[in-house]
Structure 1
Amino acid sequence: MTIMPSSPLASYAQLGVRQLHDQDPELYALLDREHRRQSETLAMIAASSVAPPSVAACEGTVLGNVTTEGYPGARFHAGCEVVDEVERLTVRRAKAAFGAQYANVQPHSGSTANQAVLFSLLGPGDVLLGMELSAGGHLTHGSRASVSGRYFTSVGYGTDASGLIDFAEVERLAKEHRPKLIVCGASAYPRTIDFARFRAVADEVGAVLLADISHISGLVAAGLHPSPIDIAHVTTTSTYKQLYGPRGGLILMGKDADMPVPGSRKTFAETFQSAVFPFLQGTPQLQAIAAKGRALALAAEPGFRELAGRVLNGAATLAAALSAAGYHVLTGGTDNHMVLIDVSRRGLTGIIAEQALESCGIIVNKNKIPDDPHGPGVTSGLRLGTNILAARSMEGDAIRRCAALVDRVLSSVQATGTCEWHLDDAIRARVRAEVAELCALHPLSHLGLAQPLEVTRR
């Protein structure tokens, strides 16, 4: 459908940008600067993607004006005829994208989705088995820095000498501690996750299995990574890391949706419905739900599988190029979008590498690695991802050029302390110029980020 200029929806959006420009130039200028920054820098952040304009447009609609609680057909406020249809549509699209029998699209984030699952199934002190943060796990998987590691009795598994999940340890810890819930999925693990093997361990000790696929959900939806939907009892994901959607989360289930929760008369589906509302959240962000629906529709198109293929191939190319340049790539490579390197072997810390690269227009993030002597604010590793490079249609030689730019900076920066460093201004200028050239050759134009914000004046 073509929206004519006279459409109320189009007029609303145009009026909003015009008023922002005219009435709040300070804020407008900041938004414009960020728009340009994203267009002109080389982002290799594994935990991010870029939302197409049609996704972002949903979040700026009048749906944000609707206050309500509950679910479609059972709201606690009036005026929900249209938003009920929006949420039902998004639920259908989530089920279709992942082959799920149940979907809850209301969680405000992937972390919130995890909390809904954990706090509805576990009580204070119950045992939770998840991946250690230092081995690649997430805060919500039982880290002591998170409520998940303080409210529950958290036990952590790690990786073996090759950097792969140590299933012998997983099985030993599960039998020893008898967890009520096991979490599989990771924040910094570059290899394929064997969901079936985790389910076998969970079944053996009578635990519920939660698969957190926040980092790989785009690959799962595209059929390029095994799906946990019918293997794990419950699956969670964020919608912005690899689904190119808005900030938000999903709870998904397959064949276990109508299975009773152990020790309860309620099914898993009933349990998670009430866990999101009213137990954990109140008013849903209806504008974000619409944006999720739009992103899920895009994920069903043939072009999304092509995009996911570039993500996958780009990461393999990036890992190979960095390895050839002499970097220690953890696990020897990657099966997903993520590449982890140990920069301590170059005499650097993660924070120095991150800051030096950012000063040259290359955006990555520091990351802890196994046996890391540094804390999360310093680290010994870097995590790189190809979600945004793929959105720039980068492949082959372009990816290798990205690796060469990373190497040029890291080979030139001089560490003068744990967090202090020096990089020659001439090198920085040359790299920034090459980054600008590469970004111009591979713009984010198809996502609407190649041009600054436009203001239409009357």
Structure 2
Amino acid sequence: MAADTEPLRTQADLLRRGLADLRAEDAELASILDAEVTRQHRTLSLVSSSCAAGPRSLAASASALVNVTVEGAPGRRHYSGCENVDRVEALAIRRARELFSAQYACVQSHSASNAIYQVLTALAEPGDTILGMALEQGGHLAHGRVEAFAEANYKAVRYGTTSQGEIDYTEVRQLAMAHRPRIIICGATAHSRVVDFQRFRAIADEAGAIVLADISHIAGLVATGRHPSPIDAAHVTITCTHKQLAGPRGGLILSGRDADTKVPGLRSSFRRVLEQAVSPGMQGAPAVNVIAAKAAALGYAMSPPFDAYMGRIRATADEMACAFMARDYEVVGGGTENHTILLRLRGGISGSIAESALEKCGIIVSKKRGPRENRSSFAANGLCIGTGSIAQRYVDAQGCRQIVDLVCRILDQVQPHGEQKYTLEPVLQEQFRQQTEALCTMYPIREYGDR
């Protein structure tokens, strides 16, 4: 039998055949995919939401499960032929509940933003008030920004942070009592402090609100006990599976002690209304191959190597924060309590300029407004730096100092011309890029870190 007509009976057969066919029959696409792998290995990512998905998750997402038509929950599908799909989703649910000590878990959401919208649809009526963290203070677009679904369907009120980057809990309470929101969202995309979920719950109970916690950026720290868990403090918790869990791009919806209590103003429990909001409410067929990849990532997240990985994330964040301060850069709050460093730039360099100049030298960062800064993110003079990716490279204390030194030397050579234009000598740029690649060679990506 010819090689290209042999039956593909295992996942390994499918992966081998797929890779061979891609290279033989679509060299253009294959070369782009290879180029991206090369780019990731030759650049240093300091993006707070960044880490590399492990090979097990990548393999699971390329599985034959994608061929199965699925709607509904395990054991209650609208189509037949779902025996193994049900087993995979049940496994992912069990692992999600165990990892986060949750009573309820939904693993079907296509992203964390989708999960937020599904929760809002389940628990609030159009026009209800939601209270969330302002985007410019470190919040997320999905929490109530004008351009997002939440603002289009609900009245969004926003709280901020203090000058030291702490959530302004006094303001949260004042706004909650003044506006009586249906839902209070706690969680951030650029916040370097511990979130007091219990305090949010106390404010919500006083104001008669529901608490929705978004732990997308700190899920791994929560899972390993390095950050307080919101599972029983919040009525509902959402997260994604790719930022700290080293899995595929997708979302989870979780609930703890409130899972089987009635939703205020409704006859059904949180568990019931959340299930209905996801399917058939806002989402049709789930991506079951991605659910398999989530199961792989959740399995890894319960292992000792993952716990060690989260330890490196915290250690490298502390090392880098200290190194930046030693170079006379202002770190908001004087340090970090998670994986994120909020850095104020100097010398008239905007975050936009720093982001662009560093990328040309092989270092990826995110521009960010500092606390109480009113300028746009393009004009603001802040960066949000995270350590998820460099922790996968096993960067040690000396390596952290080398990376910070390189970042600072690059920025010292940047000559800004306004808020977005600048010059950086091409010769220096190439030298810096070579130094970045040397660091990447010294500290190669090791993905899951258990090899």
Same structural fold, with TM-score higher than 0.5 when normalized by the shorter chain:
yes
- Report 1:85-124 matches (<5 A): 85-124=87-126
Aligned to 1:406: 407
Q: Is the 8 A contact 1:366 1:378 kept in 2?
A: no
Question: Deviation at 1:446?
Answer: 4.8
- Normalised by the length of structure 2, the TM-score is 0.96
1:365 and 2:366 equivalent?
Answer: yes
Query: Unaligned 5+ residue runs, structure 1?
Result: 1-5, 451-458
Aligned to 1:456: none
Question: Deviation at 1:149?
Answer: 1.6
Question: Deviation at 1:7?
Answer: 5.9
Query: CA separation in 2, counterparts of 1:372 and 1:161?
Result: 9
SS at match of 2:185: strand
Per-residue Cα deviation, 1:366-390 (whole angstroms, up to 9, x for no partner): 1222343432344321111000000
Which of 142, 160, 165 is matched with 2:167 structurally?
A: 165
Aligned to 1:21: 23
Aligned to 1:209: 211
- Report 1:395-434 matches (<5 A): 395-434=396-435
Per-residue Cα deviation, 1:407-427 (whole angstroms, up to 9, x for no partner): 011111111122111111222
Aligned to 1:379: 380
Per-residue Cα deviation, 1:321-356 (whole angstroms, up to 9, x for no partner): 11111111112211001111122x321111110000
Q: Is the 8 A contact 2:137 2:161 kept in 1?
A: yes
Query: CA separation in 2, counterparts of 1:24 and 1:365?
Result: 34
Query: CA separation in 1, counterparts of 2:378 and 2:25?
Result: 39
Query: CA separation in 1, counterparts of 2:401 and 2:15?
Result: 40
Query: CA separation in 2, counterparts of 1:326 and 1:342?
Result: 10
AA partner of residue 156 (structure 2): S
AA partner of residue 440 (structure 1): T
Aligned to 1:251: 253
- Report 1:54-65 matches (<5 A): 54-65=56-67
Per-residue Cα deviation, 1:63-122 (whole angstroms, up to 9, x for no partner): 111111100011111110110000000000001111111000000000011011111111
SS at match of 2:65: helix
Per-residue Cα deviation, 1:143-173 (whole angstroms, up to 9, x for no partner): 1121212211111011123221111111111
- Report 1:427-442 matches (<5 A): 427-442=428-443
AA partner of residue 98 (structure 1): F
Aligned to 1:266: 268
Aligned to 1:455: none
Q: Is the 8 A contact 2:217 2:244 kept in 1?
A: yes
Query: CA separation in 2, counterparts of 1:231 and 1:289?
Result: 26
Query: CA separation in 1, counterparts of 2:282 and 2:152?
Result: 18
Per-residue Cα deviation, 1:290-339 (whole angstroms, up to 9, x for no partner): 00000000000011111000001111111111111111111221100111
Question: Deviation at 1:441?
Answer: 1.2
Between 365-374 and 198-207, report the one with greater CA deviation.
365-374
Q: Is the 8 A contact 1:135 1:370 kept in 2?
A: yes
Aligned to 2:134: 132
Aligned to 2:236: 234
SS at match of 1:274: helix
SS at match of 1:340: strand
Query: CA separation in 2, counterparts of 1:63 and 1:376?
Result: 41
RMSD after superposition: 1.5
- Normalised by the length of structure 1, the TM-score is 0.95
1:443 and 2:444 equivalent?
Answer: yes
Query: Unaligned 5+ residue runs, structure 2?
Result: 1-7
Question: Deviation at 1:447?
Answer: 5.0
